[in-house]
């Protein structure tokens, strides 16, 4: 049961959601929907308790607002709530919903790697086929919130640039952008004590939003319908923020459009269209002219936080070459490819390939990515291990020490070698195209909500951009005398390899895009749905471009900005009422 720990304090009267029948000094902050009724007395209702929802709730409390967080799952995953998303129909380029969506306190942060990367200025500039930016904000409007996002994830300071000597800048390439890694990936666990003892935040767990009701001619949300397997109720929040992930936030908006097709922000055709993830994979090795230069590309501690440099192209180069944004980093050979001959990499693959063991080591999506498609080279991997027993044991002991015994925990490892040859991983921008979309299917979940039909499509133009970006990097490496790229296949096969590896479903971008024009967007610059006064969206769905960065960090930054907006708006409303 969720409320197994009493929290005792006094609360400001009339400034928070509370339990019916509970005295103020006895109100627990994490409550189970199946056992309690909620009195609607709070400033903001946040739907979803993933990292974005938690960050928004804490930021609202810091600004004097009372918050009700409605979360479909509980403190721990359970089979019933997993069913509520598992039935989404996805195409082969998309991860199964049961490993891409996690309901419960902490949300999908339970499963992510913890990589925090900001967006670039280039992401806010017109793309190769655009004359104006699709963003209604300039990048500085978001960068001012990066410090708060870094604090939230425990990766402060928000330092995302670190010069690297001769590698810092060469030709069109830069090797100074940092990704910073949180050591405690589960946002619910990281902020549990704050949430459990908060005087202004109530976490209502086990309550699934099944519908949004509109009143006042469709201009305001008049009710949120909540349900679990046994009961249903409707609440009337004064202000609602959907922070339940890219796909699930879009799902609720699509259902709302079915009932209210003429609402401005829902009728434009932008809702559900332009679904994006990233193109990610490996088509080349990087061969370093100086094998010792691997230290530039390996994980290192910066301000007590592990960081790693990424190879990127300048904004000017992206414009000049007509490329979409992309980042590269040095990596180990793919675990699944036994040709590497490395005993440790094969041992890791063997552990991940055994489902019950691999699932205890990493999230299922990560496991499947590393294991790869059948047929598997079991015998060759076993031979790699037994042929190099001493080096395998030595490397394993070193990695386990850094992963299990040393704080902070090292997020990954790169096996150094004297040849200077390593795999080169890329993560590249996917463009928003209408043929990549999500909509409601005819199938329904156990609570009656239609499942989604997800059609994630990659375009050849995006793959061509990835290929040409490799050419730019290879040219710059050779001209600077720093190294070269060795491709895994001939040029004629590379495009097919990029498209074959293109697979996502975890980042869930662009299906409710932010914009200034209601005819081409769903929410405005303040994350408010066009035409609805009190409905906001704070999820990766509102990002109109995907860039080269995973979206969690920047979406949390936008949530912090939204908290400031809500506090200002509510404060003005109170002054107006008082006047």
Predicted local confidence at residue 38, as pLDDT: 67
What does the pLDDT look like over 58-76, one tens digit per residue?
A: 999 999 999 999 999 999 8
Residue 271 and residue 431: Cα distance in Å, rounded? 16
Q: Domain extents for the chain?
A: 21-78+106-113+185-273+523-578, 333-407
DSSP annotation of 333 = P
Chain centre distance of CA 175: 24
* Distance separating the N- and C-terminal Cα atoms of the chain: 46
Strand partners, 135: none
Residue 109 and residue 141: Cα distance in Å, rounded? 25
DSSP annotation of 491 = H
Residue 358 and residue 14: Cα distance in Å, rounded? 49
Residue 403 and residue 387: Cα distance in Å, rounded? 25
267 φ/ψ angles, rounded to the nearest 5 degrees: -100, -5
Question: pTM score, two decimals?
Answer: 0.90
Residue 453 and residue 443: Cα distance in Å, rounded? 9
User: pLDDT truncated to tens, each residue of the chain (579 aa)?
Assistant: 233 222 222 333 333 333 333 433 444 588 999 887 766 789 999 999 999 999 999 999 999 999 999 999 999 889 999 999 999 999 999 999 999 999 999 999 999 999 999 999 999 998 887 767 799 999 999 999 999 999 999 999 999 999 999 999 999 999 999 999 999 999 999 999 999 999 999 999 999 999 999 999 999 999 999 999 999 999 999 999 999 999 999 999 999 999 999 998 999 899 999 999 999 999 999 999 999 999 999 999 999 999 999 999 999 999 999 999 999 999 988 777 777 777 888 888 888 888 888 887 777 877 887 888 888 888 888 888 888 888 788 878 877 776 676 788 889 888 888 889 999 999 999 999 999 999 999 999 999 999 999 999 999 999 999 999 999 999 999 999 999 999 999 999 999 999 999 999 999 999 999 999 999 999 999 999 999 999 999 999 999 999 999 999 999 999 999 999 999 999 998 887 543
Residue 102 and residue 446: Cα distance in Å, rounded? 17
For the chain, give the number of residues: 579
DSSP annotation of 446 = T
User: Which tokens hold the place of 304?
Assistant: 């007590």
Q: What's the per-residue H, E or C state across 366-420?
A: HHHHHHCCCCCCHHHHHHHHHHCHHHHHHHHHHHHHHHHHCCCCCCCCCCCCCCC
Helix intervals (H) in 421-532: 460-480, 491-501
Q: Which CATH class is domain 21-78+106-113+185-273+523-578?
A: alpha beta
319 φ/ψ angles, rounded to the nearest 5 degrees: -65, -45
- Tell me if the bond preceding 375 is cis, omega within 30° of 0: yes
User: Which tokens hold the place of 505?
Assistant: 């479903």
Assign 352 to helix, strand or coil.
Answer: helix
């Amino acid at each position: 049961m969720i409320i197994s720990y009493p929290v005792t304090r006094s609360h400001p009267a009339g400034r928070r959601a509370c339990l019916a029948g509970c005295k103020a000094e006895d109100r627990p902050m994490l409550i189970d929907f199946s056992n309690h009724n909620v009195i609607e007395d709070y400033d903001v209702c946040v739907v979803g308790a993933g990292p974005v929802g938690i960050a928004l709730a804490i930021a609202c409390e810091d600004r004097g607002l009372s918050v009700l967080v409605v979360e479909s799952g509980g403190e721990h995953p359970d089979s019933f709530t997993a069913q509520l998303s598992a039935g989404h129909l996805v195409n082969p380029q998309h991860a199964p919903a049961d490993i891409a969506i996690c309901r419960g306190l902490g949300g999908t942060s339970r499963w992510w790697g913890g990589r925090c990367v900001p967006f670039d200025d280039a992401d806010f500039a017109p793309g190769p086929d655009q004359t104006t930016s699709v963003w209604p904000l300039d990048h500085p409007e978001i960068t001012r919130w990066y410090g708060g996002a870094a604090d939230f994830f425990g990766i402060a300071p928000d330092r995302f640039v670190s010069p690297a000597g001769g590698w810092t800048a060469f030709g069109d390439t830069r090797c100074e952008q940092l990704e910073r890694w949180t050591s405690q990936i589960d946002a619910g666990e990281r902020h549990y004590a704050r949430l459990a003892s908060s005087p202004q935040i109530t976490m209502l767990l086990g309550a699934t939003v099944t519908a949004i009701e509109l009143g006042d001619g469709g201009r305001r949300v008049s009710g949120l319908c909540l349900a679990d397997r046994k009961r249903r109720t409707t609440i009337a929040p004064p202000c609602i923020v959907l922070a339940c992930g890219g796909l699930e936030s879009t799902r609720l908006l699509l259902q709302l459009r079915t009932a209210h097709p003429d609402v401005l922000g829902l009728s434009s055709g932008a809702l559900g269209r332009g679904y994006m993830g990233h193109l990610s994979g490996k088509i080349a090795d990087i061969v370093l002219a100086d094998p010792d230069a691997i230290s530039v590309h390996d994980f290192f501690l910066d301000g007590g936080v592990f960081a790693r440099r990424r190879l990127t192209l300048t904004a000017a180069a992206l414009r000049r070459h007509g490329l979409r944004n992309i980042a590269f980093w040095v990596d180990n050979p793919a675990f699944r490819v036994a040709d590497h001959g490395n005993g440790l990499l094969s041992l890791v693959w063997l552990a991940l390939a055994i489902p019950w063991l691999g699932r205890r080591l990493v999230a299922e999506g990560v496991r499947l990515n590393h294991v790869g498609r059948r047929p598997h080279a079991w015998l060759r991997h076993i031979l790699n291990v037994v042929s190099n027993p001493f080096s395998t044991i030595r490397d394993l002991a070193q990695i386990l020490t850094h992963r299990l015994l040393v704080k902070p925990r090292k997020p990954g490892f790169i096996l150094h070698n004297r040849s200077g040859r390593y795999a080169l991983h890329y993560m590249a921008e996917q463009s928003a195209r209408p043929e990549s979309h999500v909509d409601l299917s005819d199938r329904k979940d156990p609570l009656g909500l239609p499942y989604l039909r997800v059609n994630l499509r990659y375009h050849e133009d995006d793959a061509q951009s990835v290929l040409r970006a490799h050419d730019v990097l290879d040219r710059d490496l050779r001209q600077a005398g720093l190294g070269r790229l060795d491709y895994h296949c001939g040029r004629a096969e590379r495009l097919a390899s990029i498209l074959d590896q293109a697979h996502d479903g975890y980042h869930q971008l662009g299906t409710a895009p932010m914009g200034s024009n209601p005819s081409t967007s769903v929410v405005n610059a303040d994350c408010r749905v066009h035409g609805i006064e009190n409905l906001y969206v704070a999820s990766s769905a509102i990002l109109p471009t995907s860039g080269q960065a995973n979206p969690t960090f920047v979406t949390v930054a936008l949530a912090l900005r939204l908290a400031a907006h809500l506090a200002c708006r509510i404060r003005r409303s109170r002054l107006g009422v008082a006047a």
